[in-house]
Amino acid sequence: MRGRTYSSLREVSAKARREEIARMLGGKSDSALELAASLLKERSTTS
C-alpha cells in the first residue's frame, strides 16, 4: 500500500452535491451554499 493513492466514488444527492461544492469553495457558509447552487443551476442550463 505504500506509495499508492487510492480513491473511491459514490453518487450523491442534489443537496449533498451542493454541500460538497460549497465545502470545496471554502465552507458551508450561506454564501458558499448560494454560490454552489448558482454554479449547479448554471451547469444545468448549459448542458
The pLDDT tens digits of the residues spanning 22-37 come to 999 998 899 999 999 9
**Is the pLDDT reported for residue 1 higher than 70?**
no
The pair phi, psi for residue 10, each rounded to 5°, is: -150, 145
Contact 22, 36 (CB under 8 A): yes
What pLDDT does 42 receive?
Answer: 87
pLDDT given for residue 4 in this prediction: 93
> Average per-residue pLDDT in the chain?
90
Residue 44 has pLDDT above 70, yes or no: yes
Sign of CA pseudo-dihedral 23, 28, 30, 33 = positive
